[in-house]
Amino acid sequence: MLNFTLRRLIQIPLVMLVLSVIVIGLTQLLTPEQRAAPYIRSEQQAARLEQIITERGLRDPFPVQYGRWFSNIIKGDLGYSKASNKDVVATIKERLPNTIELALLTAIPILLLAVWLGTLSALHKDKFIDQLLRVVVVLGYSLPTFVLGIVLLAVFYAYLGWLPGAGQLDIINQFSVSDLKRYTGMMTVDAALNGRWDIAWDALQHMILPAVTLLIVLSANLVKVMRNSMLEVLTSDYVRTARAKGLSSKVVNGKHARRNALLPIITLGGFLVINLLAGSVITETIFAYPGIGQWFVQAALQLDIAGVLGFTLLSALLVVVMSTAVDILYGVIDPRVRFH
């Protein structure tokens, strides 16, 4: 296990290096004029377009451009984001905690709900509760995220008025945020640490609708996979042997069956965390939630190359790290897994 973990950790920078070459190479499909757009912030600079292209070396050979970009990365400089009017690193530091906050509120309920409902459906195969859950899963799996988000906004914000709408805070509390001492960057946590429970409660209320949207859409597939995996495990030889030994159904289903049925959930759960941390693009855009997903949409619409590159590399890093973590968890949960 130790050797496997070390090998995977060594592979992370190599994979990121290859991915960076591919991503930077794709930007060469754009003209130098298009790649110079993020550096133009006024009409005076637009008049110096050719000068900017020359200064930035946008007509240089690809190896030279990549070497210049890589040297800036080593210095912690990912460029300037036109969409946020800030450096890419500063934008990620500002927005990533918001996305993490929403992910923490969503990921744990999704995983717990999926495991519970999937197990419940498998243990009551073809009964009423199983048929009901399968219908709900199909609806959740097929319902587009933007449709569900708009419906929730229309019902709980516009019609009932039970929950706030778009954004992270009400207008009144937005003026009080500057007085908060930031510890983690997460609004609810920092507001609570500053004793501003009104702001913490306001931020939590604004996350309910985005969290529910993600919960319904993302848990549907996990419930389906957990049900199928549990049904397969329940018919295995070692489960039948456990029952023949006289073990109770609770012990057989919980200790022997469900633990082994969790293996597919680990894989999907890892990619679930990746999706949440990389920013649930559609959900954050619908609810105007200031996470990195919303920033990516704005960067793409404005042809903000530095912003798109920053988001892409962050997402790639999350995929590589979470894939390694998932492989390690496989060996922890199922001792039959061997790493060579």
As averages over each run of 10 residues, the pLDDT of the chain (340 residues) reads 72 83 84 77 76 82 87 83 86 90 89 88 86 87 85 90 86 80 86 88 91 88 87 78 73 72 79 75 88 88 84 84 76 58
* Total count of residues recorded for the chain: 340
Name residue, tokens 């190599």. Answer: 14
Instruction: Give the architecture-level CATH label for domain 89-333.
Output: Orthogonal Bundle (1.10)
Q: Where are the domains of the chain?
A: 16-81, 89-333
- Comparing CA positions, the residue from 246, 269, 231, 248 lying closest to residue 106 is 269
CA distances from 34 to 62, 195, 305, 311 (A): 16, 48, 9, 19
The pLDDT value given to residue 1: 64
Structure-block tokens of residue 236: 């295995």
- Residue pair 192/200 in contact (Cβ under 8 Å)? The answer is yes
At residue 318, what is the residue type? L
The pLDDT value given to residue 338: 53
At residue 54, what is the residue type? T
- Residue pair 187/200 in contact (Cβ under 8 Å)? The answer is yes
The pTM assigned to this predicted structure is 0.79
Structure-block tokens of residue 96: 């990533």
Which 3 state secondary structure label does DSSP give 80?
strand
The pLDDT value given to residue 146: 85
Name residue, tokens 């993490």. Answer: 100
Phi, psi of 80 (to 5 degrees): -110, 130
The pLDDT value given to residue 209: 92
Phi, psi of 313 (to 5 degrees): -70, -35
Name residue, tokens 């509390």. Answer: 173
The pLDDT value given to residue 335: 60
- Comparing CA positions, the residue from 75, 35, 71 lying closest to residue 55 is 35
The pLDDT value given to residue 318: 82
